[in-house]
C-alpha cells in the first residue's frame, strides 16, 4: 500500500513557504490515515460533544477516551443525545438522525442506501447500530400508524436479546412499551417500562411517566394524575438537569389530567410554570408545553387563547412532530369554528402533507374531536 506521503508529489517551481505548507498538509493526511480519519462522537443533551474512541458501551453509560486529553470519560446514558460511530456509513448516521427527529418512514428509506459492501467489513458495533436503527424505525412507524405492530415488536425484541448491553437498551425498552400500548397490551407495556427503573434517576422518572400515560390512554384520569404527580416527586439530585427535565414532562402529563378532570385553571397555571422553568433553547420541551396549554385552553372553552397557543407551536416551536401534528389538528378545527375556512384549509393541508401517518391526521379526516 502506498504511503499518503507518496501521493503528495511536489510541483515544480513551488515557493519555499508553499512547499512547507504542502509538506505539513501531507503529514496531516498521513496522520489521519494511520489513526483514523474521524473519531467516535458522544453528543450530549446540553449540546456539547466528546470526540475520541469509545472504550466501553453499556446500558447505563458510555466510556470514551477523549481525543484531546486522552482521559477516559464516563458519560451517564441519561445525559446523552446521540452516539455517532467513527466507521458507520453516512446513510446509517443520517437514518438515525431522521429516526430521532420522529421521521421513521424516511429513516427506513435512508437505510436502503446502505450498501452490502459497507457492512461486510463493518465492526460488530456498527452492525448492532444498523440493527437498532432498523428495528426502532419499524417499531416507531408501527406505533404511529397502527400497522405492522407484530413486525415492529419482533424486531425490537430481537435487537434487545442479541444486544443486552447496548447503550440503546433503555431507548429500545421505551419504544417497545409504546408499541405495546398502541396495541392496547397495557399490562405488557407496564412490565416493559419497568426496565427503565434500573437506569439513572432521569429514567426512573421517565418510567413512572410512561406508566401514567397508560392510564391516561385508557381514560383513567384520576389514576393517571396520581402517577404523574408521583413521577414528579421521585427523589433526584436538584443539580441533575436530565431528571429535572423529565419532571417537567411529568408536570405536563399532570396538566393533561387536570384538564380532563375539569380543573382547567390548575392545569393552565401548571403549564405556565413549566414554560417559565424550561430552557429557552429546549424547543422540543416548549413545543410539548404549548400544545398541552392549547389543549387546556380548549377544555376551558377559551378558544382564542387556544388558537394562540397552537399557533405558537406551529410557527415557533414546530420541531417536535407529535406536538406539531396535534397543533395543526386543533388549528384546523379552531379556524373552522372561527369562520376562517382558508386558514382551516391551510392547517389541514399542512397536517396531511407533513404527517400523513399521524393519528391526528386520521382523526381529522374522520371528523374527530380533540381529546
Query: What does the CA dihedral 4, 9, 14, 15 come to, rounded to 10 degrees?
Result: 30
Domain assignment of residue 189, yes or no: no
The position carrying cell 419482533 is: 154
Report the run of H or E that residue 72 belongs to, with start and end: strand 72-76
Mean pLDDT of the chain: 90
Domain assignment of residue 4, yes or no: yes
Domain assignment of residue 102, yes or no: no
Q: Quick one: pLDDT at residue 82? A: 96
The tens digit of pLDDT for each residue in 223-264 reads: 999 999 999 999 899 889 899 999 999 999 999 999 999 999
Q: Quick one: pLDDT at residue 336? A: 96
Q: Quick one: pLDDT at residue 367? A: 81
Q: Average pLDDT of 34-46? A: 78
Domain assignment of residue 6, yes or no: yes
The DSSP-derived string for 40-58 is: EEEEETTS-EEEEEEEEE-
pTM of the model: 0.84
Structural domain range at position 2: 1-37
Domain assignment of residue 8, yes or no: yes
Which bin fits 264, alpha (ψ -120 to 50), beta or left (φ > 0)? alpha
Q: Is the pLDDT of residue 7 over 50?
A: no
Report the run of H or E that residue 359 belongs to, with start and end: helix 359-365
Domain assignment of residue 24, yes or no: yes
How many structural domains comprise the chain?
1
Alpha carbon 211 to its chain's center: 19
Q: Quick one: pLDDT at residue 366? A: 86
Among 35-39, 54-58, 76-80, 268-272, name the one with the lowest average pLDDT.
Answer: 35-39
Q: Quick one: pLDDT at residue 24? A: 46
Domain assignment of residue 264, yes or no: no
The position carrying cell 412507524 is: 141
Pure H helices in 233-338: 241-260, 264-277, 283-299, 303-315, 321-337
Domain assignment of residue 239, yes or no: no
Confidence band of 368 (pLDDT split at 50, 70, 90): low
Q: Quick one: pLDDT at residue 16? A: 55
Q: Is the pLDDT of residue 358 over 70?
A: yes
Angstrom distance (rounded) from CA 58 to CA 50:
17
Amino acid at each position: 500500500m502506498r504511503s499518503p506521503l507518496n501521493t503528495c508529489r511536489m510541483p515544480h517551481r513551488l515557493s519555499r513557504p508553499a512547499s512547507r505548507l504542502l509538506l505539513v498538509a501531507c503529514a496531516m493526511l498521513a496522520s489521519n490515515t494511520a489513526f483514523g480519519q474521524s473519531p467516535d462522537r458522544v453528543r450530549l443533551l446540553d449540546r456539547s460533544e466528546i470526540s475520541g474512541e469509545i472504550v466501553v458501551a453499556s446500558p447505563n453509560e458510555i466510556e470514551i477516551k477523549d481525543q484531546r486529553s486522552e482521559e477516559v470519560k464516563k458519560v451517564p446514558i441519561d445525559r446523552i443525545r446521540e452516539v455517532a460511530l467513527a466507521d458507520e456509513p453516512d446513510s446509517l448516521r443520517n437514518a438515525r438522525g431522521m429516526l430521532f427527529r420522529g421521521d421513521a418512514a424516511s429513516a427506513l428509506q435512508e437505510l436502503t442506501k446502505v450498501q452490502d459492501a459497507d457492512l461486510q467489513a463493518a465492526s460488530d458495533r456498527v452492525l448492532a447500530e444498523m440493527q437498532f436503527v432498523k428495528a426502532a424505525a419499524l417499531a416507531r412507524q408501527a406505533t404511529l400508524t397502527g400497522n405492522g405492530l407484530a413486525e415492529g415488536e419482533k424486531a425490537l425484541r430481537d435487537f434487545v436479546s442479541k444486544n443486552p448491553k447496548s447503550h440503546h437498551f433503555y431507548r429500545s425498552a421505551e419504544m417497545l412499551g409504546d408499541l405495546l400500548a398502541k396495541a392496547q397490551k397495557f399490562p405488557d407495556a407496564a412490565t416493559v417500562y419497568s426496565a427503565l427503573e434500573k437506569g439513572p434517576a432521569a429514567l426512573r422518572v421517565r418510567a413512572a411517566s410512561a406508566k401514567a400515560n397508560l392510564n391516561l390512554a385508557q381514560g383513567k384520569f384520576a389514576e393517571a394524575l396520581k402517577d404523574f404527580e408521583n413521577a414528579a416527586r421521585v427523589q433526584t439530585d436538584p443539580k441533575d438537569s436530565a431528571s429535572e427535565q423529565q419532571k417537567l414532562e411529568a408536570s405536563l402529563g399532570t396538566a393533561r389530567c387536570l384538564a380532563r378532570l375539569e380543573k382547567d385553571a390548575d392545569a393552565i397555571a401548571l403549564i405556565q410554570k413549566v414554560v417559565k422553568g424550561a430552557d429557552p433553547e429546549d424547543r422540543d420541551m416548549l413545543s410539548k408545553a404549548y400544545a398541552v396549554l392549547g389543549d387546556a385552553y380548549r377544555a376551558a372553552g377559551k378558544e382564542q387563547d387556544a388558537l394562540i397557543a397552537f399557533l405558537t407551536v406551529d410557527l415557533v416551536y414546530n420541531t417536535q412532530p407529535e406536538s406539531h401534528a396535534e397543533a395543526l389538528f386543533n388549528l384546523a378545527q379552531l379556524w373552522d369554528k372561527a369562520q376562517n375556512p382558508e386558514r382551516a384549509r391551510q392547517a389541514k393541508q399542512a397536517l396531511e402533507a407533513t404527517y400523513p401517518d399521524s393519528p391526528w391526521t386520521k382523526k381529522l379526516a374522520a371528523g374527530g374531536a380533540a381529546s
